[in-house]
A and B are shown apart, each in its own frame.
Chain A
Amino acid sequence: MNSRAHEFEIVIVGAGPAGLAAACAAAENGKRVAVLDDTPWLGGQIWRGEQAQPAQPGAQKWIERFRRSGATLIDQTSVIASPRPGVLTAEHPSGGREIRFQKLILATGARELLLPFPGWMLPGVVAAGGLQVLAKHGWPVAGKKVVVAGTGPLLLAVADGLKKYGAHVVSTAEQAPLARVAGFGLKLLLAHPGKILQGLGIKSRLLGVPQRFGVWPVRAEGDRQVRSVTLTDGQKTWTEDCDLLACGFNLVPNVELPLALSCELCDGFVRVDKWQATSVENIYCAGEPTGIGGVDCALAEGRIAGLAAAGRKDEARQLFAGRARWHRFRAAMAETFALRPEVKTLAADDTIFCRCEDATFGRVKQFSNWRDAKLQTRCGMGACQGRTCGAAARVVLGFGMESVRPPVLPARILSLLTISSDSTTIAETKITGTNQTL
């Protein structure tokens, strides 16, 4: 493979709805476009698996359109660093890659917020959307008793999805109070009736499943495997048996790569202007990293970013009003599913806080900032690079966001060597023997 093949006018990181919409907009306007994604799938978190098992017409439309757009997909490739302007370093299972761009669109999406509580590291306690995604790809849930807990619009979608795969959904527990969720429903009915119909469809399929609001988990119990979860509404506390606890506290943006590229943040999200341009020249950002707004918001932002990067500002401008509607929806979601203080204080001193290094909450909480906690407890220094416990520390301990040093994802040593020793060619080196994560 030669290095020219890895030079593009516009490079997009992330093949989720935002990335696909950006890619189509740019490629349909004649630009040479590449989309890089960490996974072997197109479609990001919501549409992954749609190529193999089509189920959502919206997804099919975008995947088809992307195929016809002429954009290149570079999959199973994690972007880990940008050694100098206009260049990305990435890792594929077969080795390091270098990709050059004139303009870059970051569409890195979001991940679930996982908050520590006693028993949360037991096998069988899984992220909510995480379990749904795993089930979609063949994880056995049929006949299993599942409690779905946490917060966010994802919970009911997850319960619905798991039921479809044959799980016995015991109950759902949303920490936000019913009055707030109902108010959100009402706003939605006026502004986005389609969303309400989707919601009602889910509701009817979940008839018979107790759906509780203002309820949250306090601990999971079991020996080597979760067997039950204890829930509370702040007054009563009760225990429900389960084989799986699907638990997530809404989403947090993947801002590590934008930060590594020196993009400025605002309230934890990437700051962008009306063209979706970040504070760094020629770098744009779209979708969840700019705010947790859902699939339609991601599509609107992605399209605007793609058009703007391709120099089609007049066309982009026509989409501003649509985007503004989704931004109002995004603000309403943030307000509705704001975390109650109780869910931030669930961890006990002996609860594992950092799953990679097994640092306990009792040790981590002795420090007043993330940097000291990391140095003294190794919390956040393991394989996930603090993407799980770092997000939790910001919520639970109020720690600030640290600057990000590359690699953004744990890269195998070989990719880094490849990258630092030769900056112009792409290594196709086979990895043999054992590999280590940094």
Chain B
Amino acid sequence: MADSVQLRINGRMIAVPGGTVLAAAIAAAGVTQFRRSVSGQPRTPVCGMGVCMECRVTINGQAQRRSCQTLCEPGMEVQTDE
């Protein structure tokens, strides 16, 4: 397993093993809502493969990125809809 990677999720620094998918890191950080649906419901990843769009978060200021299709990178700034 590659070295650990540090990134910030909703303002909190966390470290995950290299090769971790961002969606997994967000879940491991204890986040229970990735995005809020148009009627305000909490949503979390469903398909794990880039199709359903339920895992969208803001990465380094870029909104609507699919966290299930993104690998964690050192220093990433991630914001969920919490």
Contact = CB atoms under 8 A, between A and B. Distances in A.
Contacts of B65: 93
A126 interface: yes
Contacts of A49: 19
A137 interface: yes
B27 A358 contact: no
Contacts of A224: 32, 42
Contact of A140 (B24, B54, B71): B24
A356 B39 CA distance: 10
Contacts of B56: 383
A49 to B, nearest CB: 8
Interface in B1-45: 1-2, 16-21, 23-25, 27-28, 32-33, 37-39, 41-45
A123 B52 CA distance: 14
Interface stretch (A38-46, A168-176, A329-337): A38-46
B24 A139 contact: yes
A436 B19 CA distance: 27
Interface string A15-48: 0000000000000000000000011100001000
B46 A114 contact: yes
A114 B47 CA distance: 9
A40 B49 contact: no
B62 A134 contact: no
Given A130-B48, A137-B21, A140-B24, A52 B2 contact: yes
A123 B41 CA distance: 10
A355 interface: yes
Contacts of B71: 40
A127 interface: yes
B53 A53 contact: no
Interface string A126-137: 110111111001
A410 B71 CA distance: 20
A435 interface: yes
Contacts of A140: 24, 27-28
Given A140-B24, A224-B32, A134 B48 contact: yes
Contact of A111 (B20, B23, B25, B49): B49
B78 to A, nearest CB: 14
A421 interface: no
B23 A134 contact: yes
A431 interface: yes
Contact of B21 (A121, A138, A433): A138
Contacts of B25: 138
A174 to B, nearest CB: 20
A72 interface: no
B49 A383 contact: no
Given A431-B62, A436-B64, A127 B46 contact: yes
Interface string A344-357: 00000000100111
Interface residues of A, number: 49
A434 interface: yes
A388 interface: yes
Given A40-B71, A52-B19, A433-B61, A355 B43 contact: yes
Contacts of A357: 38
Contacts of A384: 51-53
Interface string A419-438: 00000000000011111110
B52 A388 contact: yes
A200 to B, nearest CB: 27
Contacts of A126: 44-46, 48
A289 to B, nearest CB: 14
B68 interface: yes
Contacts of B45: 126, 130, 134
B60 to A, nearest CB: 10
Given A137-B20, A139-B27, A40 B42 contact: no
A123 B27 CA distance: 11
Contacts of A132: 48
B5 to A, nearest CB: 11
Nearest to A225: B32
Given A133-B48, A138-B25, A384-B52, A358 B16 contact: no
5 contacts: A38-B50, A125-B46, A355-B37, A355-B43, A384-B52
Interface of B: 1-2, 16-21, 23-25, 27-28, 32-33, 37-39, 41-54, 56, 61-65, 68-71
Interface of A: 38-40, 45, 49, 52-53, 76, 93, 111-112, 114, 121, 123-127, 129-134, 137-140, 224-225, 352, 355-358, 382-384, 387-388, 410, 412, 431-437
